[in-house]
Structure 1
Amino acid sequence: MVSRVVFGRGSFDQLDEILAAKRKGRNAPFIFYVDEVFKGNHWLTSRITLSYKDKILYIPTKEEPKTSQIDKYVEDIILEFSELPSGIIGIGGGIVMDIAKAVSLMLTNKGESKDYQGWDLIKYPAVYHVGIPTISGTGAEVSRTTILTGPERKLGINSDYTPFDQVILDPELTKDVPKNQWFYTGMDCFVHCVESLTGTYLNAFSQSYGEKAFQLCKEVFLGNDLSKEESQDKLMMASWHGGMSIAYSQVGVAHALSYGLSYLLGVKHGIGNCIVFNHLEDYYPEGVALFKEMKQEHQIQLPQGICQDLSDEQFNIMIDVALSLDPLWENAIGKNWKTIITRSKLLDLYKKM
């Protein structure tokens, strides 16, 4: 679990005080990875105090993070600084927070990040790392994974060393999120809840978080009496609780298929989950019905026909990626999932998208 959390409007202003206690010296900088959407946004960046060799790097977020990208960031730090950083701070959405987690891990674990895609392959604790979400829903601020697209697959670095040491949850930072992105990322949280609560890995611990997140999602996306501030507060809490739920259980069919879309077509995670989940009535009938109600309530139009021009080889690539995620399928279907989930079933689903 994340060991330290601060929540509240304006809590971002506590960042300097939090980091001061963690500084290791003049030659051990804090590296701030900030979503490039905030470049030139002095409302946020002016509140980051740089000292000594501290550095802000603006991160492009049009594509999901790649293992090659992580390796380049790690190399840049090693070549530029004589000491390991005092800390890595990720300020942004799931992409930026995943990059911050991955870089902090790879600074203390030798080799390439692709070698650590999987479960519990990390051997040494990461450098101190802090997560500050500026959009709600991914659960990246609390999860034990960092999702990366490698040369062969899209898969997270899942380990007990991955979670942030400190998280700052300030709902004010989400105030300028565009409506479509707000919906797609919020639905990532909703899908987390559905997959966790209906999965075979469900336990009392994950259920308590999943049920709370599920209820908060309904209040945010189907409640007409919430102020904008109340909606921001509740969705940030839903994201946290949804992330906690899957940290102690697992996701399922939607995420497995979404990884295939992302790996081949570069579809971003939130919208990918929405595109996939829209066709999963056979697996999550109640959840999909509620999702479609939310989609209609907010007049969201999903992309259509993104797979219509794919070749057999391309479909097979996506199917291979999806089928490689054993824990997701076992959670969704059970230990005998390989006798139930066939390539033809996945092909039919992808052709609907």
Structure 2
Amino acid sequence: MEIKKKIKLKKIPTRASEKYRNFPMVPRVVFGNGSFDQLGDILLPKRKHSESPIIFLVDDVFEGTALIPRIPKIFCDQIVFISAEEEPKTTQVDALVAMIREEYQELPSGIVGIGGGTLLDLAKAVAILLTNKGSASEYQGWDLVHKKSIYHVGIPTISGTGAEVSRTTVLLSPEKKLGINSDETTFHQVILDPELTKGVTHDQWFYTGMDCYIHCVESLNGTYLNAFSQSYGEKAMDLCKEVFLTDLSKTESQDKLMMASWHGGMSIAYSQVGIAHAMSYGLGYLLGVKHGIGNCLVFQYLEEFYPEGVATFNKMMQRHQIELPNGICRNLSETDFDKMVTVALSMEPLWENALGDNWRNLITPEKLKSIYQKI
């Protein structure tokens, strides 16, 4: 049965006594083909001294490629290659932080993440945990970080996640999949070099691009929508439609999708995502499904919530000859479905954005289970 939503948009406060959220933005960004080669000059004034290294966390797909000699590694800097085959984990963050503390007497001068959303999220989390005690799992939630992170730089090599601009770093822990959402998460510097995305496979390009597209659909149809998030969301949506529904050159597509990712990330930074993201967290937690494809797997069945968005999504899939995997939930137990539903329903801000304050009366565990069963 179709769920009817009665949504009243949350208005921006107008009285002096009301508080506005003072969200951070990335203070410095450079864009352009070849801009990666400015990294050395950017890092130089941030270096404390020769014994305080820069740690480069790099997607291991680049190991042995022409990109590695371009990394400005000097003094006791270290390049750490990390596989992005699995979602980033709190235990992985803890291990990286322990390794850095053991090898260096001084705090690093900075952390640089080079890769897709997994590497960018790991870089953000490591920068936080080097100055905040305890495990990364203790900071999963909203505004739990109270000490400043160390300087960190994000360099995306695939476009769509918005991780380069967001104030969250999504991690898997033994109990949940949830972001470290804080003002200290945001990168201090981002380098947007579209040339770095040229080696991305067609399917991965599509799935990660759809992460951006679904960001826009959920932000623009959410109760948290405001003029600020709307302006970014509408621009990102227009760019996504250009990339995935028109004929662009390779260079134009790379440039525009990188800008769509940036604007989409800004849109959700000042609003929120919705149902597809909440449910994809359940898939990621239980089955390790990567975030981009997880969003697609869920979104295809959300026509009753986002009818126009799903219709356009189907056109994009058809145009690019994408066939989503099916049957991945076919042999799951009742306990498995319960775990995914519990993880999805724990994302309360996402549900409130999608369905309003009354969301608990509009969505049920049975409804979510019925959607998971189709995947």
Q: Given the two structures, how large is their TM-score scaled by the length of structure 2?
A: 0.93
- The aligned residue for residue 236 of structure 1 is 258
Give ranges in structure 2 of 5+ residues lacking alignment: 1-24
Aligned to 1:262: 284
Question: 1:316 pairs with 323, 328, 338, which one?
Answer: 338
Cα distance in 2 between the residues matched to 1:334 and 1:11:
42
- Matched to 1:212, the amino acid is K
Q: Show the 5 A alignment for 1:149-188.
A: 149-188=172-211
Which of these residues, 143, 161, 174, is aligned with residue 166 of structure 2?
143
- Residue in 2 that maps onto 1:352: 374
Of 41, 53, 58, the residue aligned with 1:34 is: 58
Mapped to 2, the partners of 1:179 and 1:340 lie a distance apart of 37
Deviation at 1:124, TM superposition (A): 0.8
1:125 Cα offset (Å): 1.0
Q: Structure 2 counterpart of 1:115, which letter?
A: E
Deviations 1:156-197 (A, max 9, x none): 000011000000000000011000000000000000000000
Distance in 1, matches of 2:235 and 2:72, equals 36
The equivalent residue for 1:337 is 359
Give the Cα–Cα distance (whole angstroms) in 1 for the partners of residues 229 and 157 of structure 2.
25
**Residue 120 of structure 1 aligns with which residue?**
143
Structure 1: which amino acid aligns with 2:73? L
Q: CA deviation at 1:27?
A: 1.0
Q: How far apart are the structure 2 equivalents of 1:232 and 1:51?
A: 31
Q: CA deviation at 1:205?
A: 0.2
Q: Structure 2 residue aligned with 1:7, among 11, 31, 35?
A: 31
Aligned residue for 2:168, secondary structure, equals coil
Task: Name the SS of the counterpart of 2:70 in structure 1.
Answer: coil
TM-superposed deviation, 1:62? 0.8
Residues 25-64 of structure 1: pairs in structure 2 closer than 5 A: 25-42=49-66, 44-64=67-87
| TM-superposed deviation, 1:51 | 1.1
Q: Which residue does the alignment assign to 2:101? A: 78
Q: Does 1:23 align with 2:47?
A: yes
TM-score when scaled to structure 1?
0.99
Residue 131 of structure 1: how far off its partner (Å): 0.2
Query: C-alpha separation between the residues in 2 aligned to 1:315 and 1:49?
Result: 47
Corresponding letter in the other structure for 2:338: N
Residue number in structure 2 paired with 1:247:
269
1:253-292 equivalences in 2 (<5 Å): 253-292=275-314
Structure 2 distance, partners of 1:245, 1:161, is 18
Cα deviation for residue 49 of structure 1 reads: 1.9
1:326 corresponds in structure 2 to 348
- Using the alignment, how far apart are the partners of 2:288 and 2:43 within structure 1? 35
Q: Distance in 1 between matches of 2:219 and 2:362?
A: 20
Give the match's secondary structure for 1:146.
strand
Please, which of 97, 103, 117 is the counterpart of residue 94 of structure 1? 117
Moved over 6 A (4+): none
* 1:34 aligned partner, one-letter code: V
The DSSP-based 3-state class of the residue aligned with 1:147 is: strand
Deviation for aligned residue 1:151 = 1.1
CA distance in 2, matches of 1:247, 1:89: 21
The aligned residue for residue 91 of structure 2 is 68
Let me know the Cα RMSD of the aligned residues: 0.4
Deviations 1:274-308 (A, max 9, x none): 10101100110000000000000000010001101
